[in-house]
Structure formats: structure tokens, C-alpha cells
Structure 1
Amino acid sequence: MAITGTSSFSVNFSPVFRRDVTSASGNLKRNLDLKRFAVSSEQASTSSSTTTKTKKFVENGRMWKNSREESETARRVNVEESEERERNGKSLKNYFDEAKDMIRSDAGPPRWFSPLESGSHTNDSPLLLFLPGIDGVGLGLTMQHQRLGQIFDIWCLHIPVEDRTSFADLVKLVERTVRSENHRLPNRPIYLVGESLGACIALAVSAHVPDVDLVLILANPATSFSKSQLQPLIPILKLLPDQIPFSLPYILRLMEGDPLRMAADNLVKELAPEPPFGKLSQDLLTMSSYLSVVANILPKETLLWKLEMLRLASTYANSRLHAVKAETLILSSGRDQLLPSQEEGEKLCLALPKCQNRRFNDSGHFLFLEDGVDLVTVIKGAGFYRRGKYIDYVSDYMPPTPSEFKKIQESNRWHYLATGPVLLSTLEDGKIVRGLAGIPSEGPVLYVSYHMLLGLELYPLVSQFMIESNILLRGIAHPIAFKRLKDGKLPELSTFDPFRMMGAVPVSATNFYKLLSSKSHVLLYPGGMREALHRKGEEYKLFWPERSEFVRMAARFGAKIVPFGAVGEDDIGQVVFDYDDLIKIPYFRTEIDEISNEVEKLRIDASGEVSKQHIHLPGILPKVPGRFYFYFGKPIETEGRKRELRDKVKCHELYLEVKSEVENSIAYLKEKRENDPYRNLLPRLIYQATHGFTSEVPTFEP
């Protein structure tokens, strides 16, 4: 069964108890019989005289936490718990405080540790290995540990300040760990998260182990070191006496836009009109204390060693890019003053076969230490989180937290304001009311409708369901939002990150089946892209396939079918140059063919209008925005009709009934909106200016 639609939204150190003793020259040794648990430093101090006094990490190996019983609830991020963790998150100050503790008694070879505050992950959580940048401390994800720890088993690599392990041996260390963990749990992916130097290590390891399922997340990779401002620092440092701390101010100047800018920005945000002198003094002292910590992390000899390593690492990684087959997500900063990261991100995405790029235009080199950068959100939005060999868009999906949803709302607030959506639903007794009181609260529910021009109805529709009913509409979406067969002229995949965050899944019978079996609220547009890119004069005309594609599947799970209409596209813009016009011009005809070939084709075996889903951008003449209206008809029950609807005739009759209900809903809204005194934008703005911009603007009487 082929199902089509377009995108659904516009939118501690302590003794270790299972030891992983690793070094550049030794092998990975394990005792798999030892119990997996963690103790605090206070507990450890009574049993070992070599315990370092800090509460946050496990030394010389990984720290195991007690895991919960595996269940669907445990597999998903609890929204309220996640939100609470976000409020109690760490700051940049924690990084420097913890780094100071870690290097105070720092000796020995490079080793893994796992942060205690990363929480209790589930048994099937993938392994995440963090590979640090030039600092080598391994605390680069300290502001991310709590969130990441809910969905990953986190190990961080710590390279002591005085350690002189070569780049090649660091690669071997990580490679041994990767192979060992892959042998232990072969069905889960291993994530390598590397920043700058760590990104080069990740690329090298990936080239060495093409048979292991790796996912690379690389922040500002140092593969561009040959173009770095750090290059001229090497000969200068070699000539300067050790007593002259030249490297410190130089590094801090290059880090402008990173820790110092972040601290200053946080200070500005927190200051009241007349800030308390004590608070101001404390923040200034905190900022000045960073200098000594950076000096201890990167003394002259260590800095020289790291810079030489960066040069070698860059050359090594670049020479092996052709052997990297892993999925890769590049995170590139626009204000990175250490490396030309955005330029490098584009270059790497062209060189790597399964690569995506995400730009952070206002961020500096140390991306993960910046306020507002949430790696979990980035991974979710990019569609890079999976527990198995392939992503499962239903079981691997994590709903947006309130703060994530709020950010999506804020980015689309002008759309919402301009369209002033009105939602109507039908109660059991047939009464039409404003709001979603008539919508079933329990799934599975299938919402079927007409797709407005460019899918403009999606953002206000999905947002209002979340706001009013806390229901997440999971849309069956066109592949354009998930995958490219080749690079070209289509918008970058990052454009569709909000779609994936809000639960869109690629169109397929399998995904449709999984959504209904998980009792989801599913949004389906049978007309798909043909309706979203309709021609002139085709407003509100349904282009549905001949076959009753969705009815039998809904009946299989007893899903309620809710037909609904949506109108308002003609109050936003008028199509003046459509597909029929464009295809007559050779230049545009060639461009349409090229763009359409960038994504997977749908319904290639279908006939009629729905088979012609060419991707193009029609010429639209904007209007002063009108209002969007949605009318949800009475839910149609399929429970207990599974046997009946196996009959093709009965199934098609129900299909036509749903289609007719959608058309009737559209006709109802087109008629009733004529009586809405606030249909146009200006009256709505005047009303909200008088009553408050959060007030609900009235509409016609249903």
C-alpha cells in the first residue's frame, strides 16, 4: 500500500568497579564478572588510598549506573523530567571548576570516564564516546551530560596535561574501545562525538573500522588546521622563554566569542537595571579565574605538543576521508576564530557520502560550552538518533520537551500571528464548537484532510493541537524532508529539522503501520504534493488516488478516522505562475526535472494526477494575510469493522465517505468565514492591541 503526504510541519574520579584500563601502549582489559555500579568519592576514599577527591567521575574506566526495567516508558524521554533537568543544567563555570579538579592531581595515560550526572540510561541506549579538542580534559560536554545521559551511555576521553601520547596512538586507543564494545553489543550503534582534534580522531577511527556501525558528530573539525590562525603560533612559541606566558592571552583572544563572550553574555542577561555589586563582582572574579585554569590546562610545552598534533591529525584525517563510510553530522560555527569551520563543514559534506551540516552562525569554537546549544536537540532535529542499525521513526522518536516546542513556536510566531487560526470540532451529539473538545483523546486516531498551498496550514494546526490538547500530530511526510539522492537546488535538510522534531515520518506503509499500532495521532494528506503544489484555480480541489489506501489499515487497528477541512490559503497569496506555465519554458522544465530527481519518487505505479508529483516552486503573489480555519468532522469509528472492511466495495465506500466529509468541511468553512468580522489581519491586530496579544480573537458563530 502506498501512502503519500507532504511534510507534516512547517515547521568523578573514584575506583572503578568494572574496569576499562586503557592506555596508548596497553590493551583494553575487562572483568565482565564484576558488578556494574558507581560509588561517590566519599565511599571510595575508605577503600582506596589512590582515590582522587572529586564527586563527578569514575577514573580508569566506565562507571555503570543502575538501569531501569526496560519498557516503552523508560525508552522515551520523560518530558517533565527532561524539563526539570534543563532548568538545573550546568554553566560554563562548572567546566572550569571541574577542569581545575581534574588536572590538580593529573597523571597517567589517557583514559575513559563516565559522568555521574549523566543519569540512568536504558539497556538499549547507544554508546557515545566523547573525544575532546585541544584542551584534552574531556569535559567539553559538561553542559550536555544530563540531557545526553538520558538517551546515551556516555564515555569521555581524558588526556592528562603532561601526557605525550601521539595522535596515532590515540586513534588506536579509541579504535580498540570501539571494536571491544561493538563485539560486546554488536546491534547497537556507537556514536563518536569529537570537537576539533577529537573530530580528526573520529574520522581516522571511522576509516579504520568500516565494518563497525558508527555515527560521527563532529564539531568544528580541525581538518582545516592548515588554514588556522594557530599555525603561525608554533614557531613563535618555540622561540619564547617559558617564563613569558605568551600563549595564554593569544589563546584567550582567539577564544573571543567562546568562554569569555559566553560569560559576558550570561552576565548581561542576568543583570537587573541596577545589579547588585556583589553579583557583578562575583561574575568578574569568575571570568578572571578562567585565565589561571586555561594556563594550567595548556602550559607552553603542552600547547606546543597539541598544536603539532593538530597539524599531523589534520593531514592524517584528510588523507583518509575517502574511507569514511559512517553517517556524519558536521556542526560548524560562524564565529570560530581558531578554524574556518563553516567553510570546512561544507567541504567535508561534499567529501563524505552520508553527511549533513548544521551551521551555528553566532557561535564560537567551543560550541558545546555555549549557552543555548543543546546537542540532544540538534541530534533529534537532524534525525540522527537511533538504537539499532537503522533508525525507527516510531520507537526511536522522542517528543519535543516544552522548551524545544517553545523554540519552534517562537521561530514561527509571525506565521501564527498572521493566520490567526480558528479550530472547530464536532461533539458526539453533532454540535460544532470552537476548540478541540470533539477530538478523541485516545489513539489511534487518523486525521485526513486536504493539503493547502505549500502546506501552509501545518504549523498552526500542529501547534494548536499541542497547546490546546497536548496531542502530538505525527505526520506522514514526503521524503524531501528526510533524504536526498544527490545534492542540488533543494533547501538544505536542516530546513526540515522542526518537522522531524515534531514527529514527522517518511511516507511508507511500514511507518503508517507502526504509528497506528503505537496508538498515535496520525496526520495524513492523501493528495500529497499534488495538492500542496496545485495549479491556478485549483484551490480546495482534492486530488486523491483511486485506491482506498488508508481505510483498511485504520480498520486493522480500530483507529478513529477524523476528516477535516482547512481553508485560508487564498487569503495568503494567489498562484500566478504554476506548473503548467513553468513546464513550457525550457529553462524551468530542466530545473524541475533536476530538482525532482534529487529525492525519491512516490507513487510511480499510480495513474492520474496523484502520480505527477513534480517538485517546483510556483509563482505566488502575496496578499495581506487573512485567516486560517479548520473544521474537524465527527470521528468515524472503524473498531469492530475489520472483517467488514476487508471487502473492497465496503472499504471504498468508507473511503469516499471520508473524502466527501473533507469536501463538506471545506465548503462549510468557505461559507462561514464570510461572517467573521476578524477575517482580515488589521481587525485582529486592533482587537489584540486592545485586549492583549495573548487573547483569543473572536470569530463567527459555528
Structure 2
Amino acid sequence: MGLILHHKSLGRVFEVRCLHIPVNDRTPFEGLLQTVENSIKYEHAMSPNRPIYLVGDSFGGCLALSVAAPTSFAKTPLQPILPVLEAMPSELHVTVPYLLSFVMGDPLKMAMVSVENNLSPPETLQKLSDSLTSMLPLLSELADIIPRDTLFWKLKLLKSGAAYTNSRLHAVQAEVLLLASGNDNLLPSGEEADKLFKSLKKCRVRYFKDNGHTLLLEDGVNLLSVIKGANMYRRGRQQDPVTDYIPPTLSEFKKTFDEDYKLLHLALSPVMLSTLKNGKIVRGLAGVPDQGPVLFVGYHALLGIEVSPLYEEFLRERRTAVRGMAHPILFGGKHESSRQELSRFDAIAMYGGLPVTPINMYRLFERNQFVLLYPGGVREALHRKGEAYKLFWPDQPEFVRMAARFGVTIIPFGFVGEDDVLELVADYNDQKNIPYLREWIESINREAQRVRDTVKGEDGNQDIYLPALLPKVPGRFYYLFGKPIEMKSMDNVVRDRKSANKVYFHIKSEVESLMSYLKRKREEDPYRSIAQRAVYQASWGASAEVPTFEP
């Protein structure tokens, strides 16, 4: 039942099976392990190519057959009180669930599960109070659900399971996604994550610093979202970033854009403009085709800060996920730590991002997808001082030829606004002059997959680094999707490189022209300043669309 909050979402993409151990069952740890093993063998025999995921929570971690995760039972607060529990008179056993509740989890986060997000502060407080109050009788019922003898047996079972799995850690070959709690009063989950991360060959961690031991019963944690964000969902033997992708659910969308990114997007108040076939510029995405395949080609702003509002707008207005082609380093997990929290990189994978390769683009076009491509790549997204809005496109028109082959509609787009939000204070050139940072940059790039080794000059310089930035009082983001370029019946582009180059440089010129237009027109926007936008939203409501310049 510890997975009950996740049954619905997991059930959309998995066949969910739960191991039930009856209250009076006294099967030893090795016997339980055999039961799980037999089930795994049976399922594998029925569907040899279908992956099997084992989810183990707390004691269940010992039963994850291929994982063989070590436990920290020797450090648990329950260890010293085991003799006390054994000596406790049976009539006092009713108090045990209350004692355990203090170490099992965060009661506030557990109570918040049933509280809706759209309530007013007084309503939220009342609902939370009711939820907490309703939990108290349930604690007393635990004494009947978990009899005294069963509790003792479970604790001994955990002790034997810990010893068993600790001795087999070296044999683990499976992929492991470890969810660790930072506020776990029952087990030192953070320390255990550190050890597992070093010991297991294919281990990735997601660290929830504010959650307790009952992580999967607490508000704000969605197991399927974590699996998708960590790029560890697959349908077959090998991961396929094209066919394994699961579009975000409504609840995931609300969590991301109505909670996590809400204040940021509200402060930026993005302006989305598109161009109709007759050349007229309109507010919104009316100029974007309804059907794919469509390829969006544009400028990659500093750290890719333009991507999130773009994804949100297409999901809100078109109910369409845009598949963004990104550098492979964003999906490997090689540079993660044992205290890796959910990050912006998780959102990239969850909202359609995939490694930029010709075969991935080919297969997306085959499936009539909406695809996002930045020819400038890392060099553009990690540009230096004074290079804002400068394109670093190599002389490689292959995407144009592929688009012509599939009859893709190419839409060039421009973006401006990064200079109103961030100031670059220490760029690549600055950091290369600092010994420690220079060594770190060289180490990262030595291990990272190279994308443009064959391209000479700055267009091919795809070195990865982390720019030092200072935030500014936020201005506004502006997007303009240009006039669609139909690639149907352009067989000459497929066969002739010269024709492909001509289209390629036309697209590049269009992107530069669109950005010039936006830089010029934003000077006419009466709501470019956050102060004016705040006044407007105070008058018309936070959800009101803030006006902008006349196109």
C-alpha cells in the first residue's frame, strides 16, 4: 500500500504487481527472495524482451533481486529499542504506532496529499487541519493491523535482509535509480545514497532533501515522473528515445508550469508571435501548422533559458509536445552526484528532449513530430561576453536535405530577452585563465561526447562550461515564429548540396531578421518593464495576457 498514490500514473505505462506478505506470514528473507525471483522468471519467460522494474520501498529494497541494495539497519533508531519492544507488555503495544510515526515520515507532507492546490490560504489551512485530524485514528488502528509478534518478526527480517544484501552488493549489474530522503529519521538515507552511488556500477540518485522515510506517501513526489525525468524509462531491451517517450500528463504539466515555473514565467510574461502564410504577424501560434512533421530552427539563448516558455505555450495552446534535440551530455548522468536533486535536466527529458543525432531526427520526421533544432548548439547556448544574439551555425545543411526528403515544414524563429534577464560576468575565456576552473572544464570536456569534431573554428568549438551569471530585474521574453518554409517537392535539395546550402543560408538569414525585428519592436512595448506588467496584472488578474507592441 506504500505505492498507492502512484498506482494510477504507473498503471498507464506499466503492469503493476504488488508483493503482499500476510500479517501472520513467517517466511524468512531467503524465502521471500525466492518468491520474487520465481515471479521475475515467470514474467521474463512470458515476455523476454519486455523490461521488468523492481520498486522496493524501505524493507522492499532488500527484495529488489538484481539490485541487492545494502541497508543501514545497524544505524536505525529502531535497533536500540528492539529489546525494549520485546519486553513491552502487550497492553502497551497500542502506543507503538504513535512512537513509530515520529520517525516514519513527515505528517504534514503526508496530510498535504489530499489538499487541492487551488484553495485559498484559509481553505488550505482548514483542509490540512482536517487531514491531520483524520490521520490520528488510523495510527491507533495500526496496532491491530500490525500485531506485536508481527512487528518483532518484521524487525528481525529487516536485520537478516540487511546482512544478506550487504554481502552481495558487488554482484549488482542492473541499472539502479535510488530515491533518497534528506529528512529520513528512520534510516540515514543520504549517507546510504553516498555509499551506493560509489559501489553500484550503474546507479543514479534523486535526492529529496525535505522528505521523510515514507517518501512515496508524501505530497509532491510522483514516481513515474522521476523515472521519466531521469531518462530511465524504456519499453524494450534497449532504450529508444524516440518511441519510449511518454508525453507529460496534465498533473505533470500543472506541477511544472503551474507550480515550479509559475513565478518565473509570470515575471517574464513571454510574448509569442507567429507569421501567417500571407506574411501577417499575429499574437499566438496561429501561423504554426496543425500537423507535423514540423522543424523549428532558431537561436539558442544563454543556457537555453528560452526553451521552457516555448514548451509551455505549445502544450497550452496546441496540446503538442515539441521534441527538442539537445547535447547528449544532458541525458547520460555521468556528472551527477549522490545528492542529485531533481533538476532542469530532468524537465528536458520529461518534456521531449532527446540526444541530437541524424537517426533520431530521421525517425521523428517519420512519425510526423514537432522537432526543435538549434544549429548553433552548445557554442551558442554557452556563448561569451558580447556574443548575445550571434549565430554560430556550421556549414552543415544536412538537416535541410533530410527535411526535404520527408516534406517537412521548416519554421525559423527568433528570440530576444536574455540581455534583459541575465548578465554574463565570467565566461569561458575568463574561466580558462583560472587554474582550478580550467582543469575542471578540461576534465568535463575530456569525458563528454564530442558532437562537432569535424567542424573547424568557433562554430565547432562545443566546449562545455558553466558561465557565472548575475540576475537582472527581469525584462520580457519575445518569440517570433517566421513564415513557414514548405520543403515538399524540393527534390533538388535532397540531391544537390548547392541547393541545400541556399535554403540553409536563407533559414539562417530569416532567424537573424526575426531577431532584429524583435529587438527593434520591443522598444515600443509599453509593458517591457516588470513594473508596468505588475500594475497591469494587479488590475486584470495574474492570469490575464499582458499586452505588447503592435506587430
TM-score by length of 2: 0.92
Q: 1:452 to 1:598 in 2, by over 3 A?
A: same
**Which residue matches 2:432?**
583
- Give the superposition deviation at 1:687: 2.0
- Give the superposition deviation at 1:532: 0.9
Query: Do residues 465 (structure 1) and 314 (structure 2) align?
Result: yes
Q: Secondary structure of the residue that 1:566 maps to in structure 2?
A: strand
Match for residue 319 of structure 1 among 163, 167, 184 = 167
Which aligned pairs between 1:643-662 and structure 2 lie closer than 5 A? Answer: 643-662=492-511
Q: 1:256 to 1:701 in 2, by over 3 A?
A: closer
- Compare the two structures and name the one with the higher helix fraction: 2
Q: 1:336 to 1:489 in 2, by over 3 A?
A: closer
Q: 1:468 to 1:194 in 2, by over 3 A?
A: same
Q: 1:373 to 1:624 in 2, by over 3 A?
A: closer
**Which residue matches 2:237?**
389
Q: 1:278 to 1:401 in 2, by over 3 A?
A: closer
**Which residue matches 1:686?**
535
Q: CA RMSD in A?
A: 2.8
Give the letter for the 2:17 counterpart: W
Query: Do residues 226 (structure 1) and 74 (structure 2) align?
Result: yes
**Which residue matches 1:360?**
208
**Which residue matches 1:178?**
40
**Which residue matches 2:454?**
605
Match for residue 11 of structure 2 among 149, 152, 168 = 149
Could you give the per-residue CA deviations for residues 285-337 of structure 1, whole angstroms, max 9, x where no partner exists? 66314422x22332222111111111121122122112111111111223322
Give the letter for the 2:346 counterpart: D
Q: 1:358 to 1:670 in 2, by over 3 A?
A: same
**Which residue matches 1:379?**
227
Contact 1:486–1:598 (CA under 8 A) maintained in structure 2: no
Query: Do residues 248 (structure 1) and 97 (structure 2) align?
Result: yes
Query: Do residues 191 (structure 1) and 53 (structure 2) align?
Result: yes
**Which residue matches 1:630?**
479
Q: 1:689 to 1:267 in 2, by over 3 A?
A: closer
Bigger mean CA offset, 580-589 vs 247-256: 247-256
Which aligned pairs between 1:540-551 and structure 2 lie closer than 5 A? Answer: 540-551=389-400
Give the letter for the 1:380 counterpart: K
Contact 2:190–2:339 (CA under 8 A) maintained in structure 1: no
Give the letter for the 1:585 counterpart: I
- Give the superposition deviation at 1:279: 12
Could you give the per-residue CA deviations for residues 404-434 of structure 1, whole angstroms, max 9, x where no partner exists? 1111112112321232211211111111112
What is the distance in 2 between the residues matched to 1:487 and 1:147? 27
**Which residue matches 2:187?**
339
Contact 1:424–1:436 (CA under 8 A) maintained in structure 2: yes
Query: Do residues 664 (structure 1) and 526 (structure 2) align?
Result: no
Contact 1:197–1:222 (CA under 8 A) maintained in structure 2: no
Contact 1:171–1:205 (CA under 8 A) maintained in structure 2: no
Query: Do residues 411 (structure 1) and 260 (structure 2) align?
Result: yes
Could you give the per-residue CA deviations for residues 555-605 of structure 1, whole angstroms, max 9, x where no partner exists? 121110001111111112332332122212322211211232353222222
Could you give the per-residue CA deviations for residues 130-151 of structure 1, whole angstroms, max 9, x where no partner exists? xxxxxxxxx2222222222221
Q: 1:572 to 1:283 in 2, by over 3 A?
A: closer
Could you give the per-residue CA deviations for residues 360-414 of structure 1, whole angstroms, max 9, x where no partner exists? 3333222222344322222222222211012222211111112211111121123
Q: Secondary structure of the residue that 2:424 maps to in structure 1?
A: strand
Give the letter for the 2:161 counterpart: A
Which aligned pairs between 1:94-493 and structure 2 lie closer than 5 A? Answer: 139-202=1-64, 204-206=65-67, 223-245=71-93, 247-258=96-107, 262-263=110-111, 266=114, 284=133, 287-292=136-141, 294-409=142-257, 410-485=259-334
Give the letter for the 2:140 counterpart: L
What is the distance in 2 between the residues matched to 1:665 and 1:280? 53
Contact 2:113–2:219 (CA under 8 A) maintained in structure 1: no
Q: 1:640 to 1:617 in 2, by over 3 A?
A: same
Q: 1:415 to 1:241 in 2, by over 3 A?
A: closer
- Give the superposition deviation at 1:272: 9.6
Contact 1:422–1:628 (CA under 8 A) maintained in structure 2: yes
Give the letter for the 2:511 counterpart: V
Query: Do residues 500 (structure 1) and 362 (structure 2) align?
Result: no
Q: Secondary structure of the residue that 2:332 maps to in structure 1?
A: coil
What is the distance in 1 between the residues matched to 2:468 and 2:49? 48
Contact 1:485–1:600 (CA under 8 A) maintained in structure 2: no
Could you give the per-residue CA deviations for residues 534-571 of structure 1, whole angstroms, max 9, x where no partner exists? 11111111101111131111112111000111111111
- Give the superposition deviation at 1:469: 2.4
**Which residue matches 1:519?**
368
**Which residue matches 1:698?**
547
Q: Secondary structure of the residue that 1:591 maps to in structure 2?
A: helix
Could you give the per-residue CA deviations for residues 446-495 of structure 1, whole angstroms, max 9, x where no partner exists? 00001111111111222122222222211001123211345579976744
**Which residue matches 1:108?**
none
Contact 2:113–2:218 (CA under 8 A) maintained in structure 1: no
Contact 2:207–2:341 (CA under 8 A) maintained in structure 1: no
Q: 1:476 to 1:461 in 2, by over 3 A?
A: same
Which aligned pairs between 1:563-578 and structure 2 lie closer than 5 A? Answer: 563-578=412-427
Give the letter for the 2:276 counterpart: L
Bigger mean CA offset, 300-309 vs 478-487: 478-487
- Give the superposition deviation at 1:273: 5.5
Contact 1:577–1:619 (CA under 8 A) maintained in structure 2: yes
Q: 1:454 to 1:350 in 2, by over 3 A?
A: same
Q: Secondary structure of the residue that 1:191 maps to in structure 2?
A: coil
Contact 2:324–2:373 (CA under 8 A) maintained in structure 1: yes
Give the letter for the 2:63 counterpart: I
Q: 1:285 to 1:451 in 2, by over 3 A?
A: closer
Give the letter for the 2:417 counterpart: G
- Give the superposition deviation at 1:282: 9.8
Q: 1:490 to 1:475 in 2, by over 3 A?
A: farther
TM-score by length of 1: 0.73
What is the distance in 1 between the residues matched to 2:208 and 2:280? 49
Could you give the per-residue CA deviations for residues 596-640 of structure 1, whole angstroms, max 9, x where no partner exists? 235322222222223211111223343322221111111101112
Q: Secondary structure of the residue that 1:439 maps to in structure 2?
A: coil
Q: 1:148 to 1:621 in 2, by over 3 A?
A: closer
Task: For structure 2, list consecutive stretches of 5 or more residues without a partner in the other structure.
Answer: none
Q: 1:273 to 1:696 in 2, by over 3 A?
A: closer
What is the distance in 1 between the residues matched to 2:130 and 2:339? 51
Q: 1:267 to 1:153 in 2, by over 3 A?
A: closer
Q: Secondary structure of the residue that 1:157 maps to in structure 2?
A: coil
What is the distance in 2 between the residues matched to 1:234 and 1:441? 64
Contact 2:445–2:463 (CA under 8 A) maintained in structure 1: yes
Q: What is the percent sequence identity of the aligned residues?
A: 50
Q: Secondary structure of the residue that 1:312 maps to in structure 2?
A: helix
Give the letter for the 1:333 counterpart: S
